[in-house]
Amino acid sequence: APLVLRLVAASVSVAEKAGAIVRNVFNSGELGVVEKDGKNDLQTQADRSAQECIVQSLSRQFPKVTIIGEEEPTGETVDESHLETRLSEEVLKVVCPQNLQSVKDEDVVVWVDPLDGTKEYTEGFLDHVTVLIGVAVNGKAVAGVINQPYYNYKAGPGATLGRTMWGIVGLGAFGVERLVPPADKRIVTTTRSHSNKLVTESIEAMQPDEVLRVGGAGHKVLLVIEGKAHAYVFATPGCKKWDTCAPEAILHALGGRLTDIHGNALQYHRDVKHPNTGGVLATYSDHDWYLSRMPESVKAAVKP
Ligand SMILES: Nc1ncnc2c1ncn2[C@@H]1O[C@H](COP(=O)(O)O)[C@@H](OP(=O)(O)O)[C@H]1O
Ligand SMILES: [Mg+2]
Ligand SMILES: [Mg+2]
Ligand SMILES: [Mg+2]
């Protein structure tokens, strides 16, 4: 199978394993919280172990592919029980889009967020948490895998806990379906724990009927895909390439758009600076309307 398909097939299995690690750490009660850059930029044992699972599992199978993860390696010996080397059969049976069939190792960067929504994870907002593995080819997000370890956790004992979604631009997405949001109101989603004046000003400018302040970039893009929100608006730096690569690819695969707040495409090549300094705007429709509503003062402060 072509490299991109094998990478996605491996990432689906690896993301499921990482999702199980995220649940196990929470069940253990030993979150091992470390402040990286103040009380709103945390790392837990789940971030560390899930990152080890993903980066070690993928780098052993794809030694020539560049893999960039959010967390620093711990330097401890690798826990072999965290490795996952199976390939998802569901992925291997699809036909890879023509333009991605002959991609070479050196054209690829894999962006890994082992746990997106860490702050919310430590506060028990468990459905805000996702595991994100994005595949970029020549600087563009082309494929993504999202595992949501606590999907359905409020649905009662009969429900299956957790889900995995994946998509390839030009093919489509699986494990998640596009649902249309209410037509009679405008619902905007944004950060819950990283707000500031720019965020507030830009949200107000969109004249929303409702604002969903929730954790996780992956989670917020899922709200847009599944019609719970019309737009994800984040007009401040903060968010990084590993936060957006996988969600962007899946949203694009389903016909939506994710850009910075000026309408520029995000870049994902290996030398790019990690922060999305131009902010994030994700929509399904009316993208240009949201861009046009963005205040000039905010645009001047949030440059790509
Ligand atoms: N001001 C900031 N400082 C550090 N990280 C930020 C940030 N603003 C956003 N982020 C990161 O972007 C992701 C989405 O943020 P939010 O949930 O607030 O919308 C989170 O990823 P992680 O949870 O993987 O670290 C968060 O840490
Ligand atoms: Mg983090
Ligand atoms: Mg994140
Ligand atoms: Mg993270």
pLDDT in tens, 68-107: 999 998 888 999 999 999 999 999 999 999 999 999 999 9
**Residue in 194, 213, 277 to alter for ligand 1 test, most ligand atoms within 8 A of Cβ:** 194
Write the pLDDT tens digit of every residue in 211-221: 999 999 999 99
Residue 19: is its pLDDT beyond 90? yes
283 among known catalytic residues: no
The predicted pLDDT at position 75 comes to 86
272 — pLDDT class (breaks 50, 70, 90):
very high
**41 CB near ligand 1 (under 6 Å):** yes
List the end-to-end C-alpha distance of the chain, in Å, as a whole number: 37
The predicted pLDDT at position 269 comes to 98
- Whole-number percent of the chain with pLDDT over 90: 96
Residue 158: is its pLDDT beyond 90? no
Walk me through the domains of the chain, giving residue ranges and CATH numbers. 3-174 (3.30.540.10), 187-301 (3.40.190.80)
Q: What is the mean pLDDT of the chain?
A: 97
Show the beta-strand stretches assigned E in 37-161. Answer: 42-43, 66-69, 108-116, 130-137, 140-148
Atom of ligand 1 nearest to the CA of 70: 24
**Residue in 116, 121, 196, 202 to alter for ligand 1 test, most ligand atoms within 8 A of Cβ:** 116
Question: CA separation (Å) from 209 to 102, 128, 183?
Answer: 46, 22, 12
Place of tokens 């560049």: 66
130 among known catalytic residues: no
Q: Nearest CA to 20 among 82, 88, 110, 111?
A: 82
**19 CB near ligand 1 (under 6 Å):** no
Asked whether the CA dihedral 86, 91, 96, 99 is positive or negative, the reply is negative
Residue type, 286: D
**Range in 103-112, 151-160, 239-248 the model is least confident about:** 151-160
- For residue 229, how many C-alpha atoms fall within 13 Å in the half-sphere facing its CB? 23
Residue 157: is its pLDDT beyond 90? no
Provide the phi-psi class of 244: left if phi over 0, else alpha when psi is between -120 and 50, else beta. alpha
Rounded to an integer, what distance in angstroms lies between the CA atom of residue 298 and that of residue 278?
Answer: 10
The predicted pLDDT at position 156 comes to 86
